Amino acid sequence: MNFFEHQAAARRGSFRMVMLFALAVAGIVLVIDLIVLLLVGLQREDAGSGSLIGLMVVSTLATLAVIGLGSLYRVASLRAGGEAVAQQMGGSEVSHDTQEPSLRRLRNVVEEIAIASGVPVPRIFVLEHEAGINAFAAGYAPADAVVAVTRGALDRLNRDELQGVIAHEFGHILNGDMRLNIRLMGVLFGIMMLGIIGQRILVYGRGSRGKDALPVFAIAGAAALAGFVGLFFGRMIKAGVSRQRELLADASAVQFTRQSAGLAGALKKIAGLSSGSALEDKGKAEEVSHMLFGEGRAYSRLFATHPPLLQRIRLLDPLFGQHQLDELARRWAVAPPDGLLEDHTLRVAPGGPPPLPTATAVLPLTPPKVVAQVATPTPDDYGRARIIAATLPEPLQLLAKQREQVMPLLLALVIDGVPSVAARQRFEIAARLGEAMAARVIQLREAYLRDLHPAHRLPLAALAFPVLRRFPRPELDAFIDTVDAAVHADGKVSLFEYCLARLLQVQVREALSPAQGRPFGRRKPHDVRGPFATLLAVVAQAGHDTPTKAQHAYLAGLQRVLPRDHLPYAPPTQGVLALDDVWEPLDALDPLAKQLLVEAVTAAVSHDNQVRVAEAELLRTICGVLHCPLPPMLEKG
């Protein structure tokens, strides 16, 4: 499956989860009603059918209320997104300037894979008190994502293995699994709520005596029994939703890191070490078991949220068998592996990916090739990400990680190269954030960004994003307003600068309100003909020097997505600003319809066979706004 098919499958998974949840609720209600009926029948033999029906209605409504309120409470507690999950699991955030070798290695790996996948760098957490090898990604959208790993993963895994684990988690980020997983946490809490209530009553009511205590214990027992039913269905739901997705994420990890040995090595260490992937806190492990890299606690095969370890390993290393696993277990029982020590002894392969192309290089892009690369980094992407990170000027890397510099740095990225437009943008920034901020923006633009390689602009924004999202909401709102004003300061703002600003706005808004982020879309191309035509017209006009060439490019793109429609080429008079009205309807497209959209925009950009690096970056930016992330370079064959 490609990215768009993964997204469509994730939407179907959401529907399946709702159906299974409804079945679980029905089962719990039935159990409670039967228990109530049994208790009342034993105590009141003369109870009439009318009173029994009324009592069961009350019982049903009360049960539904408890389940519903429990789910709503848990969903509300997770509105902060991935950060809330990581903190509730006891995670400690990794500072951007950490000097601890294992944490520095972790941050480097996460940053490189984020650049390779074309998404903002997520916040990074470590579960310091967990000795097992495990990890998870949580959040509602890539802009809100966090990646958390256990201390055991940092201590036991070498760099290649850590890359495999982190790449696996990025597979969940890109494939649409995170939103489903975090909502699953909320709804499952509701169906287990009665069991929690029953257990609390039994614990706190142990000292009660006499006949008055009997009804209390009967109710507690009934609630506990219903809780077991909820636990059964909850584990079934998690197993049904999670198991296949783990195999898909394993496949994504291999694509990210260009080799399967790292991921296979991590799985072998989980299988061969006594600590495995188990978490110490069994209660928390139960709740998040469906989003972990490995099993957080022991389950029977029926309830397992992950495929068997040996099966996962053999898909990556077909020659690996049980006897080899037993040998590793015996060796590690005597001398457990040390990941950092292994890094020093690993042989570095010669060669590497080709260097970055020049800014004027012409890239051979085709619509099918670009669609195949959406959220699916190919072998060279990971290496290219390391090159981009290594060649990004060091002063810019430092600025991107300094709280007081990140806002002026990102604003400097959207300053236009035309002096008159830049002057108007400077005025708008000064009016909102002060003269000192405006002066610093222009200073950074002149000192570092005027001649910045086009392939460095989006990665620089990705590296800066974790620091940006730490600002208080009022300051982020002011930043978004300033970016918007800078973009609209003059209609001559370039299409790339406009789209980059829009991408920053989208990511900041999603980080501010994670739970309100974009759900899976349902619209079809024929529902959004106007926005399609506007986007293609603006892209065609920006990339071609004559109206005739632009018209041909527009028609080439339109043919990809609406081949039977006759929408004349009509560039909007307001230029790029006309795109303000197209993003929301286009982002609401069905995943497979978005595939057609990416093909159409690529066809328009590449129609003259003169796609330069700057145009490829424009394409990446447009795809980012529409939540279809592309890897860092697109010229591969």
Choosing from 83, 111, 112, 169, the catalytic residue is 169
Q: How far apart are CA 226 and CA 196, in angstroms?
A: 10
Phi, psi of 492 (to 5 degrees): -90, 5
The encoded tokens of residue 396 equal 């810019």
Closest by alpha carbon to 484, among 468, 463, 504, 510? 504
The encoded tokens of residue 420 equal 């008159």
Q: For the residues of 218-284, what is the DSSP string, one character each?
A: HHHHHHHHHHHHHHHHHHHHHHHHHHHHHHHHHHHHHHHHS-SHHHHHHHHHHHHSTTTT--S-HHH
What is the number of other CB atoms lying within 10 angstroms of the CB of residue 206?
A: 9
Contact yes or no for 302/178 (Cβ under 8 A): no
Q: How far apart are CA 35 and CA 30, in angstroms?
A: 9
Between the CA of residue 617 and those of 3, 357, 593, 629, what are the distances in Å?
Answer: 19, 12, 22, 11
**152: which strand partners?**
none
What is the number of other CB atoms lying within 10 angstroms of the CB of residue 353?
A: 17
Q: Map tokens 């996962």 to a residue.
A: 312
With b meaning 16 or more CB within 10 Å and e meaning fewer, what string describes 458-483?
bbbbbbbbbbbbebeeeebeebbebb
Between the CA of residue 529 and those of 502, 520, 623, 628, what are the distances in Å?
Answer: 21, 20, 18, 20
Q: How far apart are CA 403 and CA 405, in angstroms?
A: 6
The conformational region for residue 575 under phi > 0 = left, psi -120 to 50 = alpha, else beta, is: left
Q: How far apart are CA 288 and CA 298, in angstroms?
A: 13
Q: How far apart are CA 452 and CA 614, in angstroms?
A: 11
Q: How far apart are CA 329 and CA 333, in angstroms?
A: 6
CB < 8 Å & 24+ apart, contacts of 416-422: 416/490, 416/492, 416/493, 416/494, 416/497, 417/450, 417/494, 418/492, 420/490, 421/489, 421/490, 421/492, 421/493
| Active-site residue flag, 169 | yes
**92: which strand partners?**
126
Q: For the residues of 103-138, what is the DSSP string, one character each?
A: HHHHHHHHHHHHHHHTSPPPEEEEETT--S--EEEE
Q: For the residues of 440-503, what is the DSSP string, one character each?
A: HHHHHIIIIITT--HHHHHHHHHHHHHHHTTS-HHHHHHHHHHHHHHHTT-TT--HHHHHHHHH
Residues assigned a catalytic role = 169
